[in-house]
Amino acid sequence: MTASFARPLSAAAALSLMLAACSPVFNWREVPVGEAGLVALLPCKPDRAARSVALGTASVEVRMAGCEAGRATFAVAQVLAADRVQADLWLAAWRAQARQAWPGASDDAVAAVPRADASPPPRRFSGHANDARIEVLWFSQAQAGGGVAVYQATVLGQASEPAAATTFFEGLQLP
């Protein structure tokens, strides 16, 4: 009797493995990030967190959403600044931290993000260190009720699908 059960279980196990192999690595979905209205396109179900981060001389609560897919981590962080001066200081501090952590940066250039504030312009950073890769995009948007939402979108690692980082960055939608 044991032998008759072994065959169906093996077939079921094989079918299960085949179905798992057919599932996509990147399952893109729209995800709201923070309370300022940004919607990010993430390749997997995100984890969410809030933590204090040092930005310049301030310790700031940052809200994040991110996940891992295809050998890379995709994340968006958001913080609300009281005004443009504070937002500019936090953007500069985030950029300085990245340059310090990734001294072999290959690019730090002006970028385009629809509906982001033009001043300061969005910035994109790419770097490599010890077989690791990072791409970061910083941008901000003034809020109708006052204050400025400041964002950092990051891809850490070399995604198994070459267009994944482009899809992620182009999928950021400001209200």
Coil vs helix vs strand at 56: coil
Per-residue pLDDT at 106: 64
pLDDT tens sequence for the chain (175 residues): 444 434 444 444 343 334 334 448 999 999 999 889 999 999 999 999 999 999 988 899 999 999 999 999 999 999 999 999 999 999 999 988 888 888 766 667 899 999 999 999 999 998 877 778 899 999 999 999 899 999 999 999 999 998 999 999 999 999 9
Pairing of strands 72-81, 105-110: unpaired
Per-residue pLDDT at 10: 45
Per-residue pLDDT at 101: 84
Beta strands in 56-131 (DSSP E): 58-69, 72-81, 105-110, 123-129
DSSP letter for 136, please: E
Per-residue pLDDT at 24: 80
Per-residue pLDDT at 17: 36
Given CATH 3.40.1000, say whether it is the number of domain 26-170: yes
Q: Cα separations (Å) of 167 from 1, 139, 164? A: 53, 17, 5
